Structure 1
Amino acid sequence: MKGKVIILVAPSGAGKTTLAKRLFKDFEDLKFSVSATTRPPREGEENGKHYHFLSDEEFQARIDENDFLEWEEFYG
């Protein structure tokens, strides 16, 4: 599945997490996309695992360099 993007979209409770766990079990080379955010980490969140925590300047630089597949500004 190298070079492919799989996006799971469904209503809450439809089984996205169950399907994702199965896919990760069956396809060892499958990777999970980690989102980037400019908000501060919450308790227990790890940089690079739950999110990539970036400064506003770092985030804008990544946008300018077309490093993101997509991005959105929330409550900004």
Structure 2
Amino acid sequence: MNETLKPCPFCGGNAMFLTITNKSSQSSVGVMFKIKCMKCRIEFPKSYECEMYMDQDGGIRTGKDERTKAITDWNRRANDETD
């Protein structure tokens, strides 16, 4: 994940990932999160999910990972060119 969050489109403040809830089960752990401007406190209305689990060999694997989607959604601006 190389892309970074653009400044807030309303006030220019720094945006950050904000954890809404933590979740865990017998086989995985994860978080629900939003993106929020730390200056004006505006939040992107959609929430996203990131989940990890341990495989049978002891390796940590990523299940659902919506961090890139969240960054893309936050960074989209009205004047961006469309495909």
TM-score band w.r.t. shorter chain: under 0.3
Structure having the larger proportion of residues in helix: 1
Q: TM-score, normalised by structure 2?
A: 0.22
Structure having the larger proportion of residues in strand: 2
Q: TM-score, normalised by structure 1?
A: 0.23
**Higher RCO, 1 or 2 (CA under 8 Å, sep at least 6)?**
2
